[in-house]
Amino acid sequence: MSTSKPKNSDSNNRSAKRVVYSEFGNTDNSAALERGTPEVPPNQQTLKVEASRKGRGGKTVTVISGFQGKPETLADLAKQLKAQCGTGGTVKENDIEIQGEHKQKLLEILTKLGYKAKISGG
């Protein structure tokens, strides 16, 4: 009869977190891994404005893509655009999604703010 040790999932978790070798004392290098995003002025950015329904249950959203800048700047711009259109919306990755079809209105607002914007898609 062979006796085997019961496998403990705790020991597997500990071995995954175990540091085998560290030359320096600080193992937290998350600040070094973050990449800085350059703040590009609006007149040097070309944005695409398009209406989309894919994956949204038939609801239309206007997607503005092509931003190059900090997430805080993008969130402030999204808030301003939502207020101008009188609708809701969100920021996903580097895109702004505004509920409803507001291509022409958003194009006018973005050009007034100094962005180079184009309507994309049908």
- Furthest C-alpha separation in the chain: 82
In a domain, 86, yes or no: yes
In a domain, 23, yes or no: no
In a domain, 36, yes or no: no
Using CB atoms within 10 Å of the CB of residue 58, give its burial: 0 to 12 exposed, 13 to 18 middle, 19+ buried: exposed
Strand extents, DSSP E, 43-103: 46-52, 61-65, 89-92, 95-99
Identity of residue 59 = K
Phi–psi pair at 114, nearest 5 degrees = 100, 0
In a domain, 110, yes or no: yes
In a domain, 27, yes or no: no
In a domain, 33, yes or no: no
pLDDT per residue over 8-36, tens digit each? 555 555 556 676 766 776 566 666 666 66
Expressed as residue numbers, the domain containing 114 is 42-119
pLDDT per residue over 66-77, tens digit each? 998 888 999 999
pLDDT per residue over 83-121, tens digit each? 999 999 999 988 999 999 999 999 999 999 999 999 998
Compute the mean pLDDT over every residue in the chain, rounded to the nearest whole number: 83
In a domain, 14, yes or no: no
Domain count, the chain: 1
What CATH number does residue 95 fall under?
3.30.780.10
In a domain, 71, yes or no: yes
